[in-house]
Chain A
Amino acid sequence: MSILKDAISSQLGAEVRFVEGYQHPARTIFCIVPQEKFVDAAKAMKKAYALLAAEWATDETTFGRGYGIFACYRWGHEYLIVKTETAADAPVFPSLTKHFLPAWRFERQIQSLMGVMPLNHPDTRPWIKFEDWPEDAWPLRKSFDASKPMPRVEGEYKWTKAEGEGVYEIPVGPVHAGIIEPGHFRFQAVGEDVLNLEERLGYVHKGIEKRFESLSWDEGYRLAGRVSGDTTVAHSLGYCMALESMTGCNLPERVHWLRALFLERERIANHLGDIGAICNDAAFAFMLYQMMRLKEMLLRTNHALFGHRFIMDRVVPGGVAVDIDTACREVILAELDRLSKDFERLVVIYEENPSLEDRVRNTGMLKPKRAREICAVGIVARASGLNLDCRIFNPFPPYDQYDRLELGVPVMITGDVHARTWVRIQEVRESIRIIRWILDNMPDGAISAPVAAPFPDKAGFAAVEGWRGEIIYWLQSGPNGELNRCMVRDPSSVNWLGLERAIHGNIVPDFPLCNKSFNQSYSGHDL
């Protein structure tokens, strides 16, 4: 029984064709609808309370077909992917933006990079593609030669404008003050109050999705691990899981547990950094240095035990590249004891500091309704009342042992800076507990298994809960079994929309604080 499957078939009847054996794992439902039913399918999903997780396009001309448009919906533990096709000569598809807000950027991206036109889209400005690219440069098309540099052309980006007495504009970026990634923010403000914020991203577009297509299957995990360096474990895990499901790879149990261990260590390290940085932006530098110290301790242990401070390239197709022994186990346990003792003391200080509280409460509120509207994921979603976490809804071992692990996922409803901080604090506690539990219960066994080459014209799907939130990978093999398309959906692709909404009604000086509490990845978004 599947709620989404029932919802779509009762709405579309015989017009929807469920395809089995094309996409793996089989529990992710895959169906094809005619183009004129693409919007109806979205409506049916909306009625069933599903959220749009991703939307992307593929160039299938090498198969003798046109272009494919895919929309992936999520409800609880179910994922359903709807595909529609369009002819190669005049590729178009009906826009879903009216029904699902995140489609707004997904579709601009499809149009900019694949050259497939969303019909009735309210905003046809390019996204990620800059105005100085040649208009017919669609890098994701198979006919595009990615190895050549592109000429620069004249063009102008049309910003949203606000007019009236006392309204002024503040442009920020792309090069920001501080050691952070580049992006452009433009505020319209009256006095100190922000009227509107418009983001413009794409500065760190490195052509990652296209680059995947020139790699072999067993090289891809390294690139995936560099989509967003702070989330290297979760990204390479997403890639590997999608590939493994495509090839029917049977992993030894121990592999999963080690992967979970890496994933939780990555989560703790990043959360510690974020909690410190948020407090620092509220002028409480004490916390930053304390948290940085704890984070550094973790990274050093990573380096000593796994050979890399961020555990980069340690999740590989078919397994993991490092194992742990009893000595490692002792080191980690001792470290966690020290960590949690210090961390708990700092949490008390966070809670007891009224001037900090004054800055973080009711600042940068993303109301639950808005969070739902933008289909937020991860920390941002959980701080705004959405109970989403792939570790619960789409688990791999050991997360699937609900009754033994009793994974607790914090959910807050206020959606302010404090909520996003508090979710992180609770997740650190939970991750410490999970790691201890993993170390106590991890089964013995091998740490890798052979991965076969995928068959031609197949697809693989994976959703992994990275520290920012759900990461989706969707892989497709070409006519000769090669890597034809790798779609990457970092949490940032949707959560950046949340920042634009959360800033309304705040004052300009609070922007850095709000931004830090979201802390989305530019690189993961721009790809």
Chain B
Amino acid sequence: MIRILRQIFRTGIVTEPLPDQVTREIQAAGLKLEAAVRERFRRSITIRQVDAGSCNGCELEIHAINNPIYNCEKYGIHFTASPRFADLLLVTGPVTRNMEIALRRTYVSTPSPKFVVAVGDCACTGGIFGETYASLGGVDKVIPVDARIPGCPPTPLQLMQGLTRLLDGADTKK
């Protein structure tokens, strides 16, 4: 136990480590995000992530925005296990034929008003997998999409900036 405590104190809060350029960017993006969340969503927004066929690269980066460095919880962003509690669906990957039905169901289970964000080149356009017998292409081929965050995969910073962009213009939907 003592070692655990020691490690915790030694590590400190790493959310804003080293005064480097990147850290300032994260901080800036985070504060903007927080402002948007506070204003439009009464301080917290709940996200359900759906992998509709990705290569799992995009998932890694979505995981990363939860790590202590980016720590998106701090800005009021939570990930939930159930679409029923979600305000926003974060969808990755080209939609595969085998996931199409599951994605539609998840969409229907999410209460309105809701947002859908397509994350990664694949979710935006189908990416390298294109439109084939197995891949239906971008997410908008299956459910309506409110915002797109391109990149292969988008970096955590790009993800946070993308969410801010969406939330800043959110009143159109409310």
Contacts and interface: CB of A to CB of B under 8 A. Distances in A.
Q: Which of A202, A229, A349 has the most CB of B within 10 A?
A: A229
B63 A179 contact: yes
A300 B21 CA distance: 12
A147 B128 contact: no
Interface residues of A, number: 59
A265 to B, nearest CB: 14
A202 B102 CA distance: 13
B144 interface: no
Contact of B79 (A139, A146, A179): A179
Interface stretch (B34-42, B92-100, B162-170): B92-100
Contact of A181 (B7, B51, B106): B51
Interface in A227-255: 227-230, 232
Contacts of A223: 128
Given A202-B98, A211-B129, A230-B56, A175 B106 contact: yes
| Chain B residues touching A, range | 35 or more
Contacts of A292: 63-64, 66-69
B54 A204 contact: yes
A229 B60 CA distance: 8
Contacts of B83: 175
Q: Which of A139, A223, A290 has the most CB of B within 10 A?
A: A290
Contact of A150 (B22, B62, B79, B133): B133
B99 to A, nearest CB: 5
Given A179-B63, A180-B59, A312-B57, A293 B97 contact: no
B56 A205 contact: no
Contact of A203 (B8, B59, B98, B133): B98
A180 B92 CA distance: 11
A279 B15 CA distance: 21
Contacts of B66: 179, 292
B138 interface: no
B53 A348 contact: no
Given A149-B133, A182-B102, A522-B56, A229 B153 contact: yes
Interface of B: 3-4, 7-8, 11, 14, 22, 49-64, 66-69, 79, 81-83, 93-94, 96-99, 102, 106, 127-136, 152-153, 155
